[in-house]
Amino acid sequence: MWTDLKGWDRPGEENADRVNRFQRDEYGKGRICIPYRLYQSEGEGSLPLVVFLHGADAVGEDNESQLSLHDVGTVFAAPSWQEKHPCHIIAPQYMRGMHWANPVMINALQSLVEYAAEALRADKSRIYIYGYSAGAIGIFSLLKEYSSYYAAAIPICGSTSTENIERLAETPMWLFHAADDPIVSSGRLKMNFGRNEHLGSHVIAEQLQKVDGADVHYTEYPEGVMMDKYGLHPHCSWVLMGQDERAKEWLFSKSR
Residue 78 lies in a domain: yes
The residue-averaged pLDDT of 142-163 equals 96
At residue 121, the pLDDT reads: 97
DSSP state of 212: T
CATH number at residue 230: 3.40.50.1820
How many other C-beta atoms lie within 10 A of the C-beta of residue 38? 18
Residue 12 lies in a domain: no
Whether this prediction's pTM lies above 0.85 is answered by yes
At residue 30, the pLDDT reads: 72
- Mean pLDDT, rounded, of the chain: 93
Residue 242 lies in a domain: yes
| pLDDT tens-digit readout, 12-27 | 999 999 999 999 999 9
The residue-averaged pLDDT of 169-192 equals 90
Residue 121 lies in a domain: yes
Per the model's pLDDT, the better-predicted residue between 28 and 245 turns out to be: 245
Tell me the pLDDT band of 32, cut-offs 50, 70 and 90. confident
At residue 97, the pLDDT reads: 79
At residue 4, the pLDDT reads: 54
Cβ density class 181-220: b for 16+ within 10 Å, e for less: beebbbeebeeeeeeeebbbbbbbbebbeeeeebbbebbb
Indicate the pairing of strand 127-132 with strand 152-156: parallel
The count of structural domains within the chain is 1
Tell me the pLDDT band of 31, cut-offs 50, 70 and 90. confident
Residue 181 lies in a domain: yes
Nearest to 184 by CA among 219, 218, 143, 234: 234
At residue 1, the pLDDT reads: 43
At residue 189, the pLDDT reads: 77
By residue range, what is the domain housing residue 213? 19-253
3 has a pLDDT exceeding 80 = no
| pLDDT tens-digit readout, 224-254 | 999 999 999 999 999 999 999 999 999 999 9
| pLDDT tens-digit readout, 110-127 | 999 999 999 999 999 999
At residue 170, the pLDDT reads: 96
Residue 37 lies in a domain: yes
Cβ density class 148-180: b for 16+ within 10 Å, e for less: ebbbbbbbbbbbbbbeebebbbbbbbbbbbbbb
217 has a pLDDT exceeding 80 = yes
| pLDDT tens-digit readout, 52-96 | 999 999 999 999 999 999 999 999 999 999 999 999 999 999 988
197 has a pLDDT exceeding 80 = yes
Residue 11 lies in a domain: no
